[in-house]
Chains A and B, each alone.
Chain A
Amino acid sequence: MRSSIGSAAIRGLVAAGRETRHGLESLLDLAPRIRRVQAWENDHVSGLPPAVQALFWEYGDRTISLDRDRELVIDRVLVEGDWESIRWLRSALGTDAVRVHLLRTRGRRLSPRQLRLWQVLLDLPVAEVDAWIQDGTRRIWDERAVIGTGVRWRKSLRERIVVSMDDSERRWATTPDPVVEAYKRDVDRTLLRENLKRSVEERLRDLVRFQRFSVEWRRAAERAFR
């Protein structure tokens, strides 16, 4: 069933090969092209690129299709997808379709943080997003989903594991956020390691010194560039 476009293309290429004077040789010449068509078929005709397919690991043999499972796919990519998946979604459906979907569903499957991100990226009305987040019915779910279950999410759904946590850990448990993870890659950990070697007082004294320097620096710049 998977399909027709790629398979038809392959049949066409094979037929073209047969019609040549050196049929077999031409067929061999066509092999790389056939493989490229099959790869294209895997990526496009089945509907979802591998990065997005991986988000539906729990569906087993059931094929997820963008046409049939549009809402599920949009929500899953917005909630769990990496940048590659998000780029694919925007190119497949367009930004407006994603925006309309969020407005229609009131962003009900997204966490408040995720909603704030998409509010900025898709220019959603601030008052409307505020109202969704403040909605009492979804707040109960938001809090239960993050705090109450004792489920810690690691890296991806595929690697989801449940670990036992003490009360304090459970209370402050957070789910990895793809945006934060992306920012985290660029954090200069050498600075953090140096800071961790210092006492709290030294860290705060450094802050005070740096604040004083930044004021002086700003004054100097104002004098220089006036």
Chain B
Amino acid sequence: MIDIEAAFRILGGGGLEYIVVGGVAARAHGSARLTNDLDVLYRRTPENIERLAATLAPHSPYLRGAPPGLPFRWDAETIRRGLNFTLTTSFGDLDALGEITGGGGYEALVNDSTPILVFGLSVRCLNLEPLIHVKRAAGRPKDLEAIAELEALKEERDRS
């Protein structure tokens, strides 16, 4: 489970450039579904990769689902060599994504995201239409219900 407020404070405190995607973004748009992790699309510039490494380092990041004791070093070099990381941290489960299927990277989506003020912080959140698009592009059967709900949300929002 993720402590969303703590996560936003930690990520924002580190000056990280990121966009909230996935279930928390869906919830921000009005979804009624429960989610247990936070998915963020981080900007893959050298400076931001350094920030991501430094911001999460004090919070015990570790590969989710990996056996305990596996050698894993969370630093800028690891992030540069990888792309998408599903992590456990002291503040909960965090997916740090360099790219998302059907959407691409931070630069491709930043103009399709909106800063929202939440918990006294400004957090970029992916807009509803691209959120539906990337969920559909992922093509996972488990997302079908979530996509249906997001499309219904869009209809309700457009109607009101």
Binding site for B on A (CB under 8 A): 112-113, 115-117, 120, 133, 168-169, 171-172, 174, 177, 179-181, 183-184, 186-189, 191-193, 195-196, 198, 200-201, 203-204, 207-208, 210-211, 214-215
**Whole-angstrom CA separation of A112 from B143 in the bound complex:** 14
> Smallest Cβ distance from B109 to chain A, in angstroms?
11
Q: Please give me the 5 A-B residue pairs with the lowest Cβ-Cβ distance, nearest first.
A: A183-B148, A116-B139, A172-B129, A195-B30, A191-B32
Contact residues, B61-111 vs A (CB, 8 A): none
If A168-B129, A210-B34, A211-B34 touch, whether A184 touches B151 (CB-CB below 8 Å) is yes
Complex: chain A residue closest to B130, CB-CB? A172
Is A207's CB under 8 angstroms from B34's CB? yes
If A204-B4, A204-B28 touch, whether A116 touches B132 (CB-CB below 8 Å) is no
Contact residues, B102-136 vs A (CB, 8 A): 112, 116-119, 125, 129-130, 132-133, 136
Is A112's CB under 8 angstroms from B139's CB? yes
Is A169's CB under 8 angstroms from B147's CB? no
- 20 sample A-B contacts, Cβ–Cβ < 8 Å, listed by A number: A112-B139, A113-B139, A116-B141, A133-B139, A171-B130, A172-B112, A172-B129, A174-B136, A183-B145, A184-B152, A189-B152, A192-B153, A192-B156, A196-B160, A198-B30, A201-B117, A204-B27, A204-B28, A207-B34, A211-B1
Residues from chain A with Cβ under 8 Å of B147 in the complex:
177, 180, 183
> Smallest Cβ distance from A147 to chain B, in angstroms?
9
Binding site for A on B (CB under 8 A): 1-5, 24, 27-28, 30-32, 34-36, 112, 116-119, 125, 129-130, 132-133, 136-137, 139-141, 144-145, 147-149, 151-153, 156-157, 160
Is B136's CB under 8 angstroms from A201's CB? no
Please report whether the interface of chain A is mostly helix, strand, loop or mixed according to DSSP: helix
Residues from chain B with Cβ under 8 Å of A181 in the complex:
148
A-B contact count (CB 8 A): 101
**Whole-angstrom CA separation of A196 from B128 in the bound complex:** 13
If A187-B152, A192-B32, A192-B153 touch, whether A208 touches B24 (CB-CB below 8 Å) is no
If A189-B156, A201-B118, A201-B119 touch, whether A177 touches B136 (CB-CB below 8 Å) is yes
**Whole-angstrom CA separation of A191 from B34 in the bound complex:** 13
Residues from chain B with Cβ under 8 Å of A201 in the complex:
117-119
**Whole-angstrom CA separation of A192 from B153 in the bound complex:** 6
